[in-house]
Amino acid sequence: MGDPQGATVSSDELELARAVVSALNLDILPEDIDPEAPLYGAGLGLDSIDILEVALAISRIYGFPLRSEGGDNMLIFRSLRSLNRHVQSHRSK
């Protein structure tokens, strides 16, 4: 599971990867998302509209507001792992 370079994916990261894949209708298995790969551009290849969709899905699924234009978003959305850390520290569901 996870990245061929050996990064292991936690169950929380896998749950979040499933939410991202579902929200964006991506043609990739959640298990195949490298938790350390960039979400923007190279890596998963998301653009600003995709990030907005992910932010909306996270707000709905995890019960806290996540704004796509927030000042910390470059850090929050850097990778699945960084996004998961943010989600786990703020989730209410």
**What is the set of domains in the chain, with CATH numbers?**
11-90 (1.10.1200.10)
Percent of the chain with pLDDT over 90: 69
Which position has the higher pLDDT, 76 or 92?
Answer: 76
Chain segment 24-52, per-residue pLDDT in tens: 999 999 999 999 999 988 889 999 899 99
Q: Which residue has the tokens 């790969």?
A: 37
Q: What is the pLDDT of residue 2?
A: 42
Q: Is the pLDDT of residue 5 over 70?
A: no
| Residue 20 exposure: Cα atoms within 13 Å on the Cβ side | 29
Q: What is the pLDDT of residue 1?
A: 43
Q: How many other C-beta atoms can be found within 10 angstroms of the C-beta atom of residue 72?
A: 9
Q: How much is the pTM?
A: 0.85
**C-alpha–C-alpha distance, residues 92 and 69, integer Å:** 21
